[in-house]
Amino acid sequence: MLEIGPGKGALTRPLSERVSKVFAVEKDDRLAARLKQEFAGTNVAILHADILEYPFERLPCGVKIVGNLPYNIATPIIEKVLAFRRKFTAFYMTVQWEYGSRMAAGPHSKEYGSLSCFVQYYADVKKLFKIPPAAFMPPPKVQSCFLRLDMKERPPLPAGSEEWLFKVIRTCFNQRRKMVQNSLSSLLPKKEIDVILQGLHIDSRLRAEDISLEDYVRLADRARQG
């Protein structure tokens, strides 16, 4: 198990009793020193580092991750984990309820966006339960949730170019009030967009939140072919 930000070790202790090895990454100098002393000689390895800078290639394969993600760096952490997804099987995280809803959202909802598509392309997302503010000290002003990402071995419908796929998705959601026909006009001529949409049986009047991830993959691949 890889633990992000063990703090004072409240979760580290029970984890160490249930798994063969815990890699606990702690950035704070004082907390890291305290944890190293407390867990010396145990199955817990305290890694004094910033999680965004720690080289994941050093970890063994088949690792599960757990962490209470700070809102301001939640996305970079998730992006890094997904970039190294073949190292991991699952990612358990505490995030703000709204952020978790965005990751888990499907088409035809206001929460559905480029984050939803990005995460769901690489992982299955499940919100496990809500956490009230009173569970934290001091209590935050927002609800939180405990959420799980199960890494996919490969996307059900792999894109020809993932970089191009996410560029298409971001372009559409950056102008989510526009019809997809107009949103994509910054990438392709409108006449070409019309031909592609018709060939895929996608209504050109749809907006970004009405298109499934699978249709975005088909759309991006067809647009890339020209």
Question: Total structural domains in the chain?
Answer: 2
Convert the pLDDT of each residue in 186-204 to its tens digit. Answer: 999 989 999 999 999 999 9
CB under 8 Å to 96, separation ≥6 — which residues? 71, 142, 143, 144, 145
Domain boundary (87, 120, 151) is at: 151
Q: Are residues 67 and 32 in the same domain?
A: yes
Mean pLDDT to the nearest integer, 142-166? 96
CA-based Rg of the chain, rounded to a whole angstrom? 20
Residue 120 burial by CB count (10 A; 0-12/13-18/19+): exposed, middle or buried? buried
CATH number at residue 201: 1.10.8.100
* Proportion of the chain above pLDDT 70, given as a percent: 100
At 225 the pLDDT is 83
- The answer to whether residues 208 and 179 belong to one domain is yes
CATH at residue 105: 3.40.50.150
Contact 26, 36 (CB under 8 A): no
| Domain identity same for 182 and 147 | no
- Judge whether residue 226 has pLDDT over 80: no
**Final residue in a domain of this structure, among 123, 151, 179:** 151
Range with the poorest average pLDDT among 24-38, 80-94, 105-119, 181-195: 181-195
89 and 124 belong to one structural domain? yes
216: containing domain: 162-225
**What digits encode the pLDDT tens for the residues 88-113?**
999 999 999 999 999 999 999 999 99
In a domain, 35, yes or no: yes
Q: What is the pLDDT of residues 35-53, one digit of tens each?
A: 999 999 999 999 999 999 9
| 88 and 187 together in one domain | no
Q: Using the 3D structure, point to which of 124, 151, 178 is the last residue of a domain.
A: 151
Q: Of the ranges 24-33, 117-126, 129-138, which one carries the lowest mean pLDDT score?
A: 129-138
Global pTM? Answer: 0.93
169, 143: one domain = no
Instruction: Output the CA–CA distances (angstroms, integers) from residue 92 to 67, 149, 196, in the order listed.
Output: 7, 7, 39
pLDDT at 137 over 90: no
Q: Which DSSP letter does residue 85 get?
A: G
pLDDT at 70 over 70: yes
In this structure, the answer to whether residues 125 and 166 fall within a common structural domain is: no
